[in-house]
């Protein structure tokens, strides 16, 4: 069966070729882009299922490419950077990236993260719950659509995955590390602040008053939970 299409965006051609080789061995279809403008063209033309995007690109940098993609599309994005600065990680997540890897990295780790993101952003397996309604918030688990009191809410793939996971397990408290493992698909690789950023974005989109949330609740010293009840 044909697997998903990955767009690799990096001006390091040797790295791109190596990653392409590893991904194609796993059955992925791979497209390449070596600068920001080419990346945006490939996104429009090829409709990839996931993008691996370097920050330091000639012309448009990775931040701007991510910003422009997020204006129109909800394609999962993994950002790459040779710099380990926390500010880069936070800014990338603020712009809508789903994950972040610092160079150098093990290609197996990138592969694991790609698979985890696609598994969680793809079609859900059949289950008992297909639709959740809590506090006026409507979550369609199969169509990946969210409405709040009849208003359509635009979420990134990772925001939807986090929201649907917490809502499906309403009332149960999860630590940041548990959410990284369950939603991001890996354990202890990511920064716990990744979860905080996504929770804040979700509150801004689904809460009537994000500073006093009624749905996505903080359990101080432990983590987060979704409210129980209608």
Give CA separation, 218 vs 154, 155, 190, 200, in Å: 23, 20, 20, 11
Neighbours of 146 (CB within 10 A): 23
- pLDDT, the chain, mean: 84
Does position 163 have pLDDT exceeding 90, yes or no? Answer: yes
Architecture of 5-121 per CATH?
3-Layer(aba) Sandwich (3.40)
Give the whole-angstrom CA distance, residue 124 versus residue 145: 13
**pTM of the model as a whole:** 0.58
CA atoms within 13 Å, Cβ hemisphere of 161? 24
- Which residues, other chains included, contact 151 with Cβ-Cβ below 8 Å and sequence gap of 6+? none
Q: Determine the pLDDT at residue 100.
A: 86
Does position 206 have pLDDT exceeding 60, yes or no? Answer: yes
**How confident is residue 212, by pLDDT bands cut at 50, 70 and 90?**
very high
Does position 188 have pLDDT exceeding 50, yes or no? Answer: no
Neighbours of 153 (CB within 10 A): 17
- Which residues, other chains included, contact 156 with Cβ-Cβ below 8 Å and sequence gap of 6+? 70, 74, 76, 96, 98, 201
Q: Determine the pLDDT at residue 229.
A: 66
pLDDT in tens, 116-151: 888 776 533 433 456 788 777 888 877 788 988 778
In the 8-state DSSP scheme, what is residue 174? B
% of the chain beyond a pLDDT of 90: 39
Where in the chain are the domains? 5-121, 131-226
**How confident is residue 210, by pLDDT bands cut at 50, 70 and 90?**
very high
In the 8-state DSSP scheme, what is residue 11? S
Architecture of 131-226 per CATH?
Orthogonal Bundle (1.10)
Does position 178 have pLDDT exceeding 60, yes or no? Answer: yes
**How confident is residue 97, by pLDDT bands cut at 50, 70 and 90?**
confident
């Amino acid at each position: 069966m044909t697997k998903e299409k990955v767009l690799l965006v990096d001006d390091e051609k040797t790295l791109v070729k190596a990653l392409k080789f590893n991904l194609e061995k796993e059955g992925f279809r791979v497209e390449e882009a070596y600068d920001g403008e080419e990346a945006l063209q490939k996104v429009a033309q090829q409709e990839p299922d996931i993008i691996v995007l370097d920050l330091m690109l000639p012309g448009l940098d990775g931040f701007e490419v991510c910003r422009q993609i997020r204006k129109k599309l909800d394609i999962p994005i993994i950002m790459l950077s040779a710099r380990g600065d926390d500010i880069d990680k936070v800014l990338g997540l603020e712009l809508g990236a789903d994950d972040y890897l610092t160079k150098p990295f093990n290609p197996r780790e990138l592969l694991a993260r790609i698979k985890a993101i696609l598994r969680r952003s793809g079609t859900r397996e059949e289950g008992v719950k297909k639709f959740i309604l809590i506090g006026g918030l409507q979550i369609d688990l199969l169509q990946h659509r969210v409405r709040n009191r009849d208003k359509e809410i635009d979420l990134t793939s990772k925001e939807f995955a986090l929201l649907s996971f917490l809502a499906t397990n309403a009332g149960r408290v999860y630590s940041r590390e548990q959410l990284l493992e369950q939603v991001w698909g890996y354990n202890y690789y990511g920064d716990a602040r990744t979860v905080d950023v996504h929770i804040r974005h979700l509150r801004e989109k689904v809460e009537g008053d994000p500073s006093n949330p009624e749905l996505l609740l903080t359990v101080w010293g432990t983590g987060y939970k979704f409210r129980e009840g209608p």
